[in-house]
Amino acid sequence: MVEFTEQLFGGSWTEKKLDILKKYLDSYNTALKNQPFKRVYIDAFAGTGYRQQRKSQNNDPDIFEELEQEESEQFLKGSAALALESKPSFDRFIFIESDESKIKELEKLRNSYPTKSKQIEIIQSDANEFIQRYCDNEDWKNTRAVLFLDPFATEVEWVTIEAVAKTRCIDVWILFPLMAVNRLLAQDPKKVFYDRLNRTFGTKDWFNHFYKTQTLDDIFGQSVDKIVKVCDYSRIGDFYKSRLKAIFSGVAEVNKTFYNSRGSFLFQFFFAAGNPKGSAIAIRIAEYLLKKL
């Protein structure tokens, strides 16, 4: 049996995320199996391909606790391994990872699927750079794809999302980092991470959605204007969804929000469809999975 080094992820919310993805991939390949398209699965943050269930008193650890290297119980299939088991199968698999040690683990994963090894392409690269190049150079007349964007934080840049939407041939699942974005939106406007948020949202308009000027009385009873943070997690997610709707053929109205064991927001799971002709069916399948699973 192939041994994989550990990559630690969360608890029940991770299971739900991957269950939704796996069922969508099966539905996607079934719907297109008789179509004359090459079907590609792209995992932009593939990691090792496997994850491990960690020993913890909490079933759903905090996002930062996930990164701690603790003793683990067992290996579980991550998104890359689940995609390789999709039935019907994709014609091509692209696993992108920047970390050299994880690249080696992905190579072990490829070797454990000898009948599909020639279909698996492992790319050591920055995910944003590779996806933008790939979107520009692929033959989209003959290709359809599903992209899974599952970053730890705010690594995904809006120019990448725009490149994906421009193809009109890629369905994308995005795990959007609510907690990370909210922390970048500091209470004090002077401490806000403007550049990072501009890259994440692809616009500077986010500031007017998340901050307002209010007139307050100071300790001397004098009226002063003060910029205050007025956003919550729902407002952040709604704004990102509105950005997706502006460029994709269709975006699922239903989202799934994932929380840690203390009920704090972690991520929001979005789905956007690329091809206008098939977007209605794709959205219907995605919304069903997001509601039921």
**Tell me: the pLDDT tens digits for 277-287?**
999 999 999 99
Q: What is the pLDDT of residues 149-170, one digit of tens each?
A: 998 889 999 999 999 999 999 9
Q: What is the pLDDT of residues 223-255, one digit of tens each?
A: 778 899 999 999 999 999 999 999 999 999 999
Please report the pLDDT score of residue 263 as a whole number. 86
Please report the pLDDT score of residue 49 as a whole number. 60
Q: Domain coordinates of the chain in residue numbers?
A: 12-181+232-292
Please report the pLDDT score of residue 262 as a whole number. 83
Rounded alpha-carbon distances, angstroms, from residue 22 to 14, 81, 103, 273, 289: 12, 10, 22, 16, 10
Please report the pLDDT score of residue 108 as a whole number. 93
pTM value is: 0.85
Residue 18: its H or E element? helix 12-32
Please report the pLDDT score of residue 41 as a whole number. 98
Please report the pLDDT score of residue 70 as a whole number. 31
Which residues partner with 93 through β-bridges?
Answer: 41, 120
Short-list 198, 204, 206, 194, CA closest to 159: 198
- Provide the greatest CA pair distance for the chain: 77
pLDDT exceeding 70 applies to what percent of the chain? 86
Q: What is the pLDDT of residues 76-122, one digit of tens each?
A: 468 999 999 999 999 999 999 998 988 999 999 999 999 999 999 99
**What whole-number distance in Å separates Cα of residue 79 and Cα of residue 262?**
25
The mean pLDDT value of the chain amounts to: 86
Tokens of 90: 């994709």
Q: What is the pLDDT of residues 185-223, one digit of tens each?
A: 999 999 999 999 999 999 999 999 999 998 877 677 777
Please report the pLDDT score of residue 216 as a whole number. 73
Please name the fold of domain 12-181+232-292.
Rossmann fold (3.40.50)
